[in-house]
Amino acid sequence: MNIVIFGPPGAGKGTQSKFIVEKYQLYQLSTGDLLRDEIKNKTDLGSKISSIMNSGELVSDDIVGNLIEKFVSNERYKNQIIFDGYPRTLLQAKNLDGLLKKYNQKIDIVLKLSVSLETVKQRIIERQSQEKRADDNENIAIKRYKTYENSSEPVIDYYKQYNLLKVINGEASIKEINSEISGLIEAMKG
């Protein structure tokens, strides 16, 4: 199965992805992590995207599209991917469908974690002291939340239309969210 995990920054996508990866033996494809690796490794791409990422904007659909194709085309990960932080725009959602089709795959479920801006701010402040991410401070957090609000609705509507969308209360505890997600995945597998 392939899963999309969706939600604003600080919603817990990364934490929940890691849980799902372990429980269902999947591979986590985090476009944010891949992009941060490019910056860390000082690649040409890294130098192009660092200011965009640090300002809380989205990098171009083309750039992230290329990154995910490397993953989706790899037999090793076939039908075992959790997409964490991708797609974030309607074009990305459509590109993903096309790409999966090309490699005889599809999305089985889209998990949307909903959290308020207040919660996001709090979590980002906590994460900042633990992970020291360059794009984690309160102002950028707000900017990233707004970016999400501006681009997410068409993506949500897109997946609703295919009956793939499951909305989860991201304000609940990590454990509660774990078990809700497990329930949804088990129900989907039938």
Which residue of 58, 96, 124, 165 would you call a contact of ligand AMP, by CB under 6 A? 58
Least Å distance, CB 143 to ligand AMP, is 9
- Nearest residue to ligand AMP, scored by beta-carbon proximity: 32
Least Å distance, CB 190 to ligand AMP, is 30
What is the footprint of ligand AMP within residues 126-165 (CB under 6 A)? Answer: 135, 144
Measured between alpha carbons, how far is 32 from 11 in angstroms, rounded to an integer? 14
Least Å distance, CB 26 to ligand AMP, is 17
Nearer residue to ligand AMP within complex by CB, 42 or 189:
42
What is the footprint of ligand AMP within residues 8-27 (CB under 6 A)? Answer: 9
3-class SS string, 74-91? CHHHCCCEEEECCCCCHH
Q: Buried b / exposed e across 39-60, counting CB within 10 Å, b at 16+? A: beeeeebbeebbeebeebebbe
Which residue of 4, 20, 29, 53 would you call a contact of ligand AMP, by CB under 6 A? 53
Q: Is 85 in the site for ligand AMP (CB under 6 A)?
A: yes
Q: Bridge-partner residues for 29, per DSSP? A: 83
Which amino acid, residue 118?
E
Least Å distance, CB 56 to ligand AMP, is 6
Least Å distance, CB 106 to ligand AMP, is 19
Rg (CA), the chain: 16
Measured between alpha carbons, how far is 119 from 109 in angstroms, rounded to an integer? 25
- Count of positions (residues) in the chain: 190
Classified as helix, coil or strand, 29 is strand
Q: Which residues bind ligand AMP (CB under 6 A)?
A: 9, 31-32, 35, 52-53, 56-59, 64, 85-86, 88, 92, 135, 144
